[in-house]
């Protein structure tokens, strides 16, 4: 069974220009502490150009001879009825987050967009209970959007789809380190799915606020 694949909405754009002094991240989230563990073999990597858009429950990425491809896994899902009636940057259909955590994440995401111009969107799900493909239009995903899907279906709970403009500014190695540190099964089973989600959002926030350069996002904070 294969993922349903749609044409990419992303296009290459000019990299953003940030001030020489980093913007201080918003203190709405707190990071759990844990030693960095070795990532599973299937931890996703990211190519320099836009990724093909796939939303069929969980995003599973696999290396191919041409770069990054989407692994055959689950049948495509499209359940717009699972979307909230009002727009939200955080959608938790799996029940991983408390109301307070959702509010903190929503505020942090709003601060990220205000300060950097990049859009972070978070979907917490447990396949097959997912809005799937419907999320693309709901969030109006473009080349400045990071879609973060938290789903433990494949073991590592952190899955990302990044727009072309984001991909120009953030090194591909950042996403591998992030999934390896906070997405591995040992971490989220010990700390909880919510801890993995909050830690990942804060790490992305810190990364996006760093000035673009040869060493930006070199550490997962």
SS (H, E, C) 173-184: HHHHHHHHHHCC
57 inside domain: yes
Say if 26 falls within a structural domain. Answer: no
Largest Cα–Cα separation, the chain: 48
pLDDT for 154 equals: 84
20 lies in some domain: no
Amino acid 69: pLDDT: 32
Compute the distance between CA of residue 67 and CA of residue 8 in angstroms, rounded to an integer.
15
Domain membership flag for residue 134: yes
Classify residue 18: in a domain, yes or no: no
Task: Retrieve residue 136's tokens.
Answer: 């693309």
Q: Does any domain span residue 8?
A: no
pLDDT of residue 59: 38
What distance in Å separates the CA atoms of residue 144 and residue 121, rounded to the nearest whole number? 11
Angle at 106 between CA 81 and CA 99, to 5 degrees: 70
Range of the domain at 57: 41-79+87-208
In a domain, 218, yes or no: no
The pLDDT of residue 132 = 92
With respect to residue 189, please indicate whether it lies within any of the assigned structural domains. Answer: yes
Give the chain's domain count. Answer: 1
Which pLDDT tens digits describe the chain residue by residue (221 residues)? 333 333 333 333 334 433 444 434 444 554 444 444 444 443 344 333 333 333 444 433 322 222 333 333 456 789 999 999 999 999 999 999 999 999 999 999 999 999 999 999 999 999 999 999 999 999 999 999 999 999 999 899 999 999 999 999 999 999 999 999 999 999 999 999 999 999 999 999 999 999 998 889 999 98
Q: Model pTM?
A: 0.71
CA distance linking residue 51 with residue 70, whole number of Å = 10
pLDDT confidence of residue 74: 56
Residue 92: CATH number of its domain: 3.10.310.50
- Within a 10 A sphere around the Cβ of 143, how many other Cβ atoms? 18
Q: How far apart are CA 131 and CA 83, in angstroms?
A: 6
Beta-bridge mates of residue 53: 6
- What's residue 150's pLDDT? 97
**CB burial readout 21-47, b (16+ within 10 A) else e:** eebebbebbebeebeeeebeeebbebe
């Amino acid at each position: 069974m294969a993922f349903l694949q749609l044409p990419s909405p992303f296009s290459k754009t000019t990299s953003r220009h940030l001030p020489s002094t980093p913007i201080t991240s918003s203190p709405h989230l707190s990071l759990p502490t844990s030693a960095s563990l070795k990532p599973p073999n299937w931890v996703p990597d990211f190519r320099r150009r836009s990724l093909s858009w796939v939303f069929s429950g969980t995003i599973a990425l696999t290396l191919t001879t041409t770069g990054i491809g989407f692994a055959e896994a689950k049948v495509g899902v499209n359940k717009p009825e699972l979307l909230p009636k009002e727009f939200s940057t955080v959608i938790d259909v799996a029940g991983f987050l408390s109301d307070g955590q959702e509010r903190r994440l929503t505020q942090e995401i709003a601060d990220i967009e205000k300060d950097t111009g990049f859009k972070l969107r978070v979907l917490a799900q447990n396949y097959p209970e997912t809005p799937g493909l419907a999320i693309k239009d709901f969030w109006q995903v473009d080349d400045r959007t990071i879609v973060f899907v938290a789903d433990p279906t494949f073991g590592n709970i952190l899955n990302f789809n990044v727009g072309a403009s984001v991909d120009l500014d953030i090194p591909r190695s950042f996403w591998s380190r992030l999934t390896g540190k906070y997405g591995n099964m040992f971490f989220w089973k010990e700390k909880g799915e919510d801890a993995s989600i909050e830690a990942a959002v804060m790490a992305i926030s810190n990364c996006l606020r760093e000035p673009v350069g040869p060493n930006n996002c070199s550490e997962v904070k």
